[in-house]
């Protein structure tokens, strides 16, 4: 069962307002929670009056008895946990594995490893909030209950989650910093590839140079949008593809991996309302 504890932070807050307006819970989720009497008081008794005003500091427990995820648990995938509370989990995805499986019986992905971890700790629910390309390593956020999933999905859509990356790119990048505002669309000649296309979706990448090496440059990038392969496409378009990213004309590396890591995410936590920074150690 997924659940979380919460103390109301102001007078006259209602359960209905919390779920529908403050946390933007979907109609289906809220309806199912109401039918299942999923909101409990500090004594573990169901709260029946969802429109009744509550005093600040009222303790509530929100439960999701039917919230389960179907990923097959897999202990064979390395999992590094960077952050965890009742609402989210932040983990490191290694380069070379997918964020999630393509089919219900697939294993060997990050979400299979997350499911094994969650089940060991008594949970049944875990859903990724965003994804990283198979060859990209770094921080991935996981929702631990449906309301968290709904809220963080909305935050991703509204660009309320800042995501930073470190990339090593080919060549000598002359500009110390800049912003790339170029739309990205599908490459109709290559189904796995994206390209800068005026008919594509808007995409904005900010970057700054960190270090210049003999044949490559280290840059930090952050995204204002989250298009597929965005950093890889934008940097390649500048003439400085990610080192090792042969799909986008990057030079080959000895291990066959490309040099792109999602190093940090930051956001205002929707449940604690605290500024939260999660970064690679």
DSSP the chain: -EEEEEE--STTB-HHIIIIIIS---HHHHHHHHHTT-EEETTS-B---TTS-B-TT-EEEEEETT----PPP-TTS--EEEEE-SSEEEEEEPTTS-SS-SSTT--SSHHHHHHHHHHHTT----EESS---TT-EEEEEEESSHHHHHHHHHHHHTT-SEEEEEEEEES----SEEEEE--EEE-TT-TT-EEE-TTSB--EEEEEEEEE-SSEEEEEEEESS--TTHHHHHHHHTT-PBTT-GGGTPPP-TTS---EEEEEEEEE-TTT--EEEEE--
Share of the chain above pLDDT 90, in %: 86
Burial 236-257 (b: 16+ CB within 10 A, else e): bbbebbbbbbebbebbeeeeeb
The string of pLDDT tens digits covering residues 53-103 is 999 999 999 998 888 999 999 999 889 999 999 999 999 999 999 999 988
pLDDT for res 27: 83
In CATH terms, the fold of domain 163-262 is: Pseudouridine synthase (3.30.2350)
pLDDT for res 281: 79
The string of pLDDT tens digits covering residues 132-181 is 999 999 999 999 999 999 999 999 989 899 999 999 999 999 899 999 99
Q: How many CB atoms lie within 10 A of CB 96?
A: 12
| Nearest Cα residue to 45 out of 64, 65, 59, 57 | 59
**How far apart, in whole angstroms, are the C-alpha atoms of residue 237 and residue 207?**
14
Confidence of residue 226 (pLDDT cuts 50, 70, 90): confident
Angle, CA 129 vertex, CA 123 and CA 78 arms, to 5°: 60
In CATH terms, the fold of domain 2-64 is: 3.10.290
* 245 pLDDT more than 80: yes
* Length of the chain as a residue count: 281
Confidence of residue 25 (pLDDT cuts 50, 70, 90): confident
pLDDT for res 260: 98
What is the domain class of 80-158 according to CATH? alpha beta
The active-site residue, picked from 74, 133, 170, 245, is 133
Sign of CA dihedral 33, 37, 41, 42: negative
Q: What is the pTM of this model?
A: 0.91
Q: Confirm whether 133 is a catalytic residue.
A: yes
Q: Under a CB-based contact definition with an 8 Å cutoff, are residues 63 and 2 in contact?
A: yes
Axis crossing angle, helix 146-157 with helix 27-35, rounded to the nearest 10 = 170
Q: Mean pLDDT over all residues of the chain?
A: 94
Domain boundaries, the chain: 2-64, 80-158, 163-262
**How far apart, in whole angstroms, are the C-alpha atoms of residue 24 and residue 63?**
16
pLDDT for res 249: 96
* 1 pLDDT more than 80: no
Asked whether this chain's domains 2-64 and 163-262 adopt the same fold, the reply is no
């Amino acid at each position: 069962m997924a659940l979380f504890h919460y103390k109301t932070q102001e007078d006259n807050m209602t359960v209905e307002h919390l779920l529908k307006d403050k946390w933007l819970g979907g109609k289906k989720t809220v309806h199912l929670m109401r039918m299942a009497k999923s909101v409990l008081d500090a004594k573990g008794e169901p709260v029946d009056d969802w429109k009744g005003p509550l005093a600040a500091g009222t303790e509530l427990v929100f439960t999701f008895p039917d919230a389960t995820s179907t990923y097959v648990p897999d202990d064979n995938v390395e999992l590094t946990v960077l952050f965890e509370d009742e609402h989210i989990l932040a983990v490191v995805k290694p380069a070379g594995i997918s964020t999630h499986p393509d089919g219900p019986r697939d294993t060997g992905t990050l979400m299979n490893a997350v499911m094994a971890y969650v089940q060991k700790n008594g949970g049944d629910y875990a859903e990724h909030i965003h994804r990283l390309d198979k060859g990209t390593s770094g921080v991935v956020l996981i929702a631990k209950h449906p309301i968290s999933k709904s809220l963080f999905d909305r935050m991703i859509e509204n660009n309320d989650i800042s995501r930073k990356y470190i990339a090593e790119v080919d060549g000598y990048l002359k500009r110390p910093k800049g912003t790339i505002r170029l739309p990205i669309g599908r490459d109709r000649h290559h189904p796995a590839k994206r390209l800068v296309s005026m008919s594509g979706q808007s995409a904005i990448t900010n970057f700054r140079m960190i270090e210049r090496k003999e044949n490559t440059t280290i840059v930090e990038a952050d995204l204002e949008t989250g298009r597929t392969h965005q950093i890889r496409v934008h940097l390649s378009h500048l003439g400085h593809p990610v080192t090792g990213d042969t799909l986008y004309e990057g030079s080959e590396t000895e291990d066959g991996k490309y040099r792109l890591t999602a190093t940090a995410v930051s956001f205002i936590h929707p449940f604690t309302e605290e500024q939260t920074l999660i970064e690679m150690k």
